[in-house]
Structure 1
């Protein structure tokens, strides 16, 4: 992996990341989530090319580097956090891959290891550093000790103890202007290898009941909030408020490139 080229992909210079520190980790995370989109096109394919699915997701690191850095694509959590881990490691961070469970609308976290996140250790304190989520996106390192961190667009985040016997922690967020916390994902701070996620990755890109095998979704953090593209609509989220515009078939690829810097070509 060429770390300098990866940094250029997310708009940073090597001088911006001179040593492992909380400030550098925050710089890396924010740059990543506002530059590299969360997208499921490798699973669903182009919604207008007549194909039933995309080229598939492969977790081999050279493939991820080629896709995200060289071809300037995005991906979902196994890809984005999977490759981001290697950048953090190359920049001398003490970083672990961690398996998590995204919590659905029913409050359940299933299947196991349906989310890949990263945890760094700085001066004996552990922080989630996650660049692999859709909306809402975590923009800055989050302490695993319960401290609340609020980002620049008003989303508050925290990690609390889980009441489940099979997971230790629960990550929660609170939308701007809201008083209630919402569950995001469960996890235990146990280091894993990238190969640990392969079975769930294969399931999520092939099972009919998977949230990723339906309509395509592309999303990214912005300076004001978030932007999300589906097959027929573009949603902007600013200050927790959503506005939606329809997107015509003939305009979809132009919107994809304009809003996300992404030219989709299956390879």
Structure 2
């Protein structure tokens, strides 16, 4: 394997050969979500976002940072391609926490085909990201530990990924099976990272899975979710903020 692939695998705690199998794909996605945070801190700090693989590799692997969907899924798709997977990029419309129809497609999704079966792979959906790949089949609940997902067909928006909350199914994002080129994400990523109307410019959003739950930041509030407990706090100083960022997300700005 090339040195950059080995470095990426080391970044997410995967050792040894990584043959392009479904089992390995599941391991890679799970490990990625537990080692690399979803975060928009560069956007909030006015630092330009680049989707060039070399720049993404430097930020996420070399400097130990995270990113948002256009960064995380672009680099993860690159890794999967290098490992021998058949990867197709899709553009999605993100519905989670939206009260009206989202005005634009602003989510990068990966589709991986293995032995004739298609799977949705996503390490860039923040707290909504499934632990493991989801088979692209209609109206079939797919249980992942304490979480359940399903993919439905919508006559207008195509595939709709839903998550179960209590007894209710709620949409996460929709997409169609139209292959998307890397350059197609550039304009939307630029809008998301620079427009004052973009939600990514309004508040800090950080998330990472942990073995006992997940850690998130919403605005200034750190939220620590565990199986049997929940804790939240707002750092009382910039120094405390930096220490907490390192402790709970492994991020050093």
| TM-score for both structures, normalised by structure 1 | 0.88
* Pairing partner for 2:147 from 140, 155, 161: 155
Structure 2 residue 72 is matched with structure 1 residue 80: yes
Q: Note the aligned Cα RMSD (angstroms).
A: 1.6
In 1, Cα distance between equivalents of 2:225 and 2:167: 18
Shift of residue 135, structure 1, vs aligned partner: 1.4
Aligned 8 A contact 1:229 1:256 in 2: no
Shift of residue 230, structure 1, vs aligned partner: 3.9
Structure 2 residue 133 is matched with structure 1 residue 173: no
Aligned 8 A contact 2:36 2:65 in 1: yes
Aligned 8 A contact 1:120 1:128 in 2: yes
In the alignment, which residue of structure 2 is the partner of 1:50? none
Shift of residue 241, structure 1, vs aligned partner: 7.1
Structure 2 residue 243 is matched with structure 1 residue 254: yes
In the alignment, which residue of structure 1 is the partner of 2:7? 5
Aligned 8 A contact 2:111 2:120 in 1: yes
In the alignment, which residue of structure 2 is the partner of 1:49? none
Q: How does 1:110-259 map to 2 (within 5 A)?
A: 110-112=103-105, 114-146=106-138, 147-152=140-145, 154-164=146-156, 167-175=157-165, 178-239=166-227, 242-249=230-237, 250-259=239-248
Secondary structure at the aligned position of 2:88 is classed as strand
Cα 1:81–1:111 shift into 2, 3 Å: same
Shift of residue 42, structure 1, vs aligned partner: 1.1
Deviates more, 1:202-211 or 1:79-88: 202-211
In the alignment, which residue of structure 1 is the partner of 2:84? 92
Unpaired runs of at least 5, structure 1: 46-52
In 1, Cα distance between equivalents of 2:144 and 2:177: 23
Shift of residue 182, structure 1, vs aligned partner: 1.1
Q: How does 1:51-70 map to 2 (within 5 A)?
A: 53=46, 55-70=47-62
Cα 1:111–1:257 shift into 2, 3 Å: same
Q: How many residues align?
A: 248
Deviates more, 1:125-134 or 1:246-255: 246-255
Structure with a larger share of its residues in helix: 2
Cα 1:208–1:242 shift into 2, 3 Å: farther
